[in-house]
Structure 1
Amino acid sequence: MLDAHLHVFLTVAEKRNFSRAAEFLNLTQPAISQQIQTLEEYYGAKLFERTNKRVELTQAGHVLVPYAQKIMETHHHALQAVNDLTGQVTGKLTIGASLTIGEYILPKLLANFSGNYPKVEPTVKIGNTEVIAEHMLSGTIDLGLIEGPIHNKHLHVVPFLEDEMLLIVPANHMLNRYTEVEVDDVANETFLLREAGSGTRFAMEELLHDLSIQPKRVIQLGSLQSIKEGVEAGLGISFLSKWTIQKEIQLQSIHPVRIKGVRLKRQFSLLNRKGQFASRAVTEFMRVVQETKWEEEK
């Protein structure tokens, strides 16, 4: 079928390599080459320039990409519509999640969902809040789960879980005897931050601004795990979601504290595009997200 060939074409266009595309699609490289050749014969144009190490889209290839994406999206919606009509919850579900949610919240949601709807094939794309919003606008994901604020008239944001950012210090830090500290107690500390565009980074910068704290030194790290390990090693202190530090608190490898008189609350939210087709799988996953109960580990 033509849509299968277009799926191969889009995968090669993304991977820029026939071998990686073959591995990703679980096909042989000759099979990939054959399908691309069939497409080139169908359209009467060369779609890729091949070199030893990578492939590049030709002008015709660049022109075809948005049409191929639209065809695949339409086919996906048609399949879902037929399944919905017959009462089946099947097909593919592509979820975008920001890092905190993707690592610490989404696994439980997927377990709850898959237990009830085993015929749905979920795929997850992880990125910071801005990246997930871009995926949602381009239609490359069915819905998103984000931790940062998004203001776009084309997107619909629905909160589903309250979060609190806690200050974490090393286990041997001088503040580890306290549950609450004054602003002045942390003003001269080194702060570990996520990258720009991260919901965690945004929330932390907002809090530092509200507290009139201008860190003398900031170290930027690319993941939540690297920040936690940095705090454990004494590299600095940081603010992280309460949902991400439950195990470390139990192990007493870090110590959480609050700033007196301050509670940094935020919402984890569902994200979808206004007017976007919602399959039964999307609708049911959104229901699972909103109905799942959460308890902090003691």
Structure 2
Amino acid sequence: MIERYLTFRLLRVYITLVQTGSISETARQLHLTQPTVSIQLKKLQETVGHRLYSFQQQRFVLTEAGNALYLSCQKIFACLDEFTSQLDDIDAGQSGHLKIAMVNTAQYILPKLIGPFQIRFPGIEITLEIGNREQVLQRFEQGLDDLYVFSHPPSLEHAIAEPFLVNPLVMVANSAHPLAHNERIDVRELLENRFLLREQGSATRMMFDSFLQNQGATPSHMQQLSSNEAIKVGISAGMGIGMLSQHVLDLHNSNLTVLPVDGLPLVNHWYFIARNDRYMPKTALKFLSFCQTSVEQVLGEPWQGELEGLIVRHFEHI
């Protein structure tokens, strides 16, 4: 039987290879030589009896059997991590590890929840990964994290999503802008301004493009910037106007103002995303439960989704 010959060492080498896509990087991370890694992988493929992967034009590609083994490895090591966490809980109180990846804009929201959570559960170590939408989607595809935070959930096969907070998108200008004190503004009055925008594919950019398209409006000048902070600085300096999440603004300590544009704010939401083919650790469940009971107290706005629905949908697939 195959399980008689599989070892955790072989599976650890394999799962590291899948996550890195490189034999040399696998060797470096596991403190092994490259020949040793190659021998271990050859032994694993012989044991399984199927080709698990290939390198096509220097790109690492899993076979169907290789992907099935990787999913099994994820569950095996997640169960072991959970067991270790349970032992730690018995010995020293609640502890464990939680990995969260979030899009850039969420850094204005999530730390406000993580701070009180870590005060309450100091034994839980949280690793945060922050990137643009494409980078976080790549992490989701690789299953590198326990939870993901998007403002526009991905329509992917293994994604289950639940909203937790309203995310209003507003048009922002320098407070000295000629239209800053108007009671209402038609979007066509803004079209001669330079719009400072996030990159194509970001949730805010998609919402902005959709809004203008629905209004039948085409801006004359657009400039792409790499982050919300860059856009805020640009607006503050009079470079142009831009659409931003209301959560990134500090109107009391800046020269920014929200323009009262017809049709705005756009109602969007923040979402917690999980994979339905990955084991959700107890630390993730604890964090979601904490957020559900604390969002309104910490952020002043009510929880939007149904946490029980997210958890049930997750475990239905595990």
Name the TM-score, length of structure 1 as normaliser.
0.75
**2:299 is paired with a residue of what secondary structure?**
coil
Match of 2:142 in 1: 138
The 5 A counterparts of 1:229-268 are 229-246=233-250, 249-268=251-270
Is 2:110 the counterpart of 1:106?
A: yes
Supply the distance in 1 between the matched residues of 2:241 and 2:163 (Cα, whole angstroms).
28
- Worse overlay, 82-91 or 207-216: 82-91
Match of 2:152 in 1: 148
Match of 2:191 in 1: 187
Deviations 1:34-84 (CA, angstroms, capped at 9, x unpaired): 97588579779xxxxxxxxxxx7899x999986885475234312244256
Structure 1: which 4+ aligned runs deviate by more than 6 Å? Answer: 31-35, 40-44, 56-59, 61-65
Where do 5+ consecutive residues of structure 2 fail to align? 1-8, 46-57, 302-318
Match of 2:97 in 1: 92
| Amino acid aligned to 1:119 | G
Distance 1:267 1:235, change over 3 A: same
Distance 1:11 1:146, change over 3 A: closer
| Amino acid aligned to 1:100 | T
| Amino acid aligned to 1:279 | P
The 5 A counterparts of 1:4-19 are 13=21
Supply the distance in 2 between the matched residues of 1:210 and 1:283 (Cα, whole angstroms).
39
| Amino acid aligned to 2:77 | H
Distance 1:130 1:287, change over 3 A: farther
Distance 1:107 1:35, change over 3 A: farther
Distance 1:261 1:81, change over 3 A: closer
Aligned counterpart in structure 2 of residue 295 of structure 1, from 283, 294, 300: 300
**1:181 is paired with a residue of what secondary structure?**
coil
**2:234 is paired with a residue of what secondary structure?**
helix
Supply the distance in 2 between the matched residues of 1:213 and 1:288 (Cα, whole angstroms).
43
The answer (yes or no) to whether the contact 1:231–1:254 under 8 Å persists in 2 is yes
Match of 1:53 in 2: none
**1:255 is paired with a residue of what secondary structure?**
strand
| Amino acid aligned to 1:162 | V
**2:260 is paired with a residue of what secondary structure?**
strand
Q: Report the Cα offset of residue 125 of structure 1.
A: 2.4
| Amino acid aligned to 1:144 | Y
**1:174 is paired with a residue of what secondary structure?**
coil
- Worse overlay, 33-42 or 77-86: 33-42
Name the TM-score, length of structure 2 as normaliser.
0.71
Match of 1:272 in 2: 274
**1:158 is paired with a residue of what secondary structure?**
strand
Match of 1:206 in 2: 210
Q: Report the Cα offset of residue 242 of structure 1.
A: 0.6
The 5 A counterparts of 1:50-61 are none
Deviations 1:172-205 (CA, angstroms, capped at 9, x unpaired): 3212334542323212211111112211111111
**2:139 is paired with a residue of what secondary structure?**
helix
Supply the distance in 2 between the matched residues of 1:43 and 1:270 (Cα, whole angstroms).
36
Q: Report the Cα offset of residue 284 of structure 1.
A: 0.9
- Worse overlay, 88-97 or 65-74: 65-74
Supply the distance in 2 between the matched residues of 1:201 and 1:137 (Cα, whole angstroms).
22
Match of 2:312 in 1: none
Match of 1:224 in 2: 228
Supply the distance in 2 between the matched residues of 1:195 and 1:207 (Cα, whole angstroms).
16
Distance 1:253 1:288, change over 3 A: same
Q: Report the Cα offset of residue 270 of structure 1.
A: 0.9
Supply the distance in 2 between the matched residues of 1:149 and 1:280 (Cα, whole angstroms).
23
Deviations 1:103-137 (CA, angstroms, capped at 9, x unpaired): 21121222122222223222222233454344334
Distance 1:9 1:274, change over 3 A: closer
